[in-house]
Amino acid sequence: MRKQLTISGLEKKLDRIFSVFVRLRHARNGYCQCVTCGKWHHWKDIDAGHYWKRQHQATRWDERNVHPQDTHCNKFRGGAEAEHATYILAKYGKAVYDELAVKHSMIAKFTRADLEGMIEKYSGLVKQMERHT
Ligand SMILES: [Zn+2]
């Protein structure tokens, strides 16, 4: 019998698969452009950077809040928040930007079933995308 993951184990698993999903979704021929400095990297060599940081559960796995970012911007420039905001505004518009600003501070409680459902959804999407890369 497989050991059942804890909630935090499921969250980590979802973080990993969601990060792969974000990077593959934005990849062109296997390469991703950092949304905050414009440099290109192989998708395996870039991060999935959160605009509203990962501790905000409500926006942790929101596809409009997480984009390819290189280590330089994500880690050493603290997420390059101003440029990331500019990117979100240009890509989705002000309504979405404002929605994320409200959403990130809301209380979000994901159950085991919610997390397992999202893991299943994003694993499936990643499998589809891998076939096309
Ligand atoms: Zn960058």
- Quick: pLDDT tens for 75-126: 999 999 999 999 999 999 999 999 999 999 999 989 999 999 999 999 999 9
* pLDDT one-digit tens code per residue, 73-86: 999 999 999 999 99
Q: For residue 2, is pLDDT > 80?
A: no
Q: What is the distance in A from the centroid of ligand 1 to the CA of 70?
A: 5
Query: What is the pTM (predicted TM-score) of this model?
Result: 0.94
3-state secondary structure the chain: CCCCCCHHHHHHHHHHHHHHHHHHHHCECCEEECCCCCCEEEHHHCEEEECCCCCCHHHHCCCCCEEEECHHHHHHCCCCHHHHHHHHHHHHCHHHHHHHHHHCCCCCCCCHHHHHHHHHHHHHHHHHHHHCC
As a whole number of angstroms, the distance between CA 45 and CA 68 comes to 10
Q: What is the distance in A from the centroid of ligand 1 to the CA of 83?
A: 10
Q: What is the distance in A from the centroid of ligand 1 to the CA of 79?
A: 9
Q: What is the distance in A from the centroid of ligand 1 to the CA of 107?
A: 30
Q: 79 vs 131, which has greater pLDDT?
A: 79
Q: What is the distance in A from the centroid of ligand 1 to the CA of 76?
A: 10
Q: Where are the domains of the chain?
A: 17-122
